[in-house]
Amino acid sequence: MCNKLIFSLAGVAFNLAASGLVFAADMAVKAPPPALAPVDSWTGWYVGGNIGYGWGNNTGEGFTSFTDPGELNSVASYFAVGGNVLPGVVPKGVVGGGQIGYDWQLSQSWVTGLVADFQASGMKDSASATVSTPPFHPFTTIQSNTAQNDWLGTVRGRLGVASNSWLFYGTGGLAYGEVKSTVVFTGVNSNPANAVFAGTATSTRAGWTVGGGLEYAFYPNWRVGVDYIFFNLGRISATAVPVSSSGPFLFPTPTFTAASKFAGSVARLVLNYKFN
C-alpha cells in the first residue's frame, strides 16, 4: 500500500513538471519580438566643417583675341605661323571651410533640406610655353598663363533617402566664388626687343553646382560624411598690355586677350553637429 502511494505521488510530480516545461516552452515561442531600434530623426539645424580637394577643368588654350593697331599687322602674321601658344591650365588644391543647414524628415525614408557653405580654396595652376617661328618670321616668345580660385561658396537644396543612421542625398543650387586670371606675353628678339605684355583680371562670379553625398549619424547630435560637387563659375578675360621693354615701345602697341573658364569638382569630408 505504501509503495503504491509513493508511485502515485511520483507520477503526479512528473506530470506537473512536464506540464511546466511545456508551458514554459509555449511562453518562449509566443513571447513578442523585441522592439526595433528607433529611427534617427534628421530634422533640425546643424553646423559643421569640411576639408577636401578641388580640381578644375582646363581653362582653355591660346589667346582668344588681340588688337594690333600697327600698320605692319605683325601680331596676325605671327599667330598665323603658329605663334599663339598660350597653354591652358588646370587649377587644383586643398579646399576647406564650414557649412550651416536645416533638414526636414518628410517620412521615415525621405529627407529634404537647405545648406550654405563657404570655404577657402587653394586651387591654382600655372604654365608657360616658348615658341620660335620660322626664319622668315624670326620672333621668339614666352607665353604664360595662371588661373586660381581663392574662395568658393554654395547655397544648395538637398533631397535624400534615410535609412536609420544613414542618409544618401543629391544636391544642387547656386555656386559663387572669386577667380583670378593672369596672362603674360614676352617677346624675345622682337621689335621692340624683349617687350613684356601682362594683364590680370579678378572677379567674383556666380554660377551653378550639382552633386551628392552620404552622411552617417555615428553619435547623438554628430554626423560624419563625404560630399562631392561639380561647379561652374563661367568665364573671365584677362588682357595683356605693354608693361616693360629693353628698348623703346613703338606706338601704337598691340594687346593680347585670353578667356579662362572656371569650372571643376570638389570632394570633401564633412563633420556636422545637429542641434536638438
DSSP for 188-238, written as a single string: ES-SSTT-EEEEEEEEEEEEEEEEEEEEEEEETTEEEEEEEEEEEEEEEEE
**46 CB-side CA count, 13 A:** 27
Q: What is the DSSP string of 116-157?
A: EEEEEEEEEEEEEEEEE--TTS--EEEEEEEEEEEEEEEEEE
52 CB neighbour count, 10 Å cutoff: 19
Buried b (16+ CB within 10 A) or exposed e, 19-44: eeeeeeeeeeeeeeeeeeeeebebee
pLDDT digit string (tens) for the chain, length 276 residues: 444 433 343 444 444 344 544 434 444 445 555 444 444 689 999 999 999 999 999 999 999 999 988 655 678 888 888 889 999 999 999 999 999 999 999 999 999 999 999 999 999 999 999 988 766 566 788 999 999 999 999 999 999 999 989 999 999 999 999 999 999 998 876 555 578 999 999 999 999 999 999 999 999 999 999 999 999 999 999 999 988 876 666 667 889 999 999 999 999 999 999 998
For residues 223 and 275, give the distance between their C-alpha atoms in angstroms, rounded to a whole number: 11
Neighbours of 87 (CB within 10 A): 17
pTM above 0.85, yes or no: no
Q: At which residue does the C-alpha cell 534628421 appear?
A: 42
> Where do the domains of the chain lie?
1-31, 43-274
* Coil/strand/helix, residue 25: helix
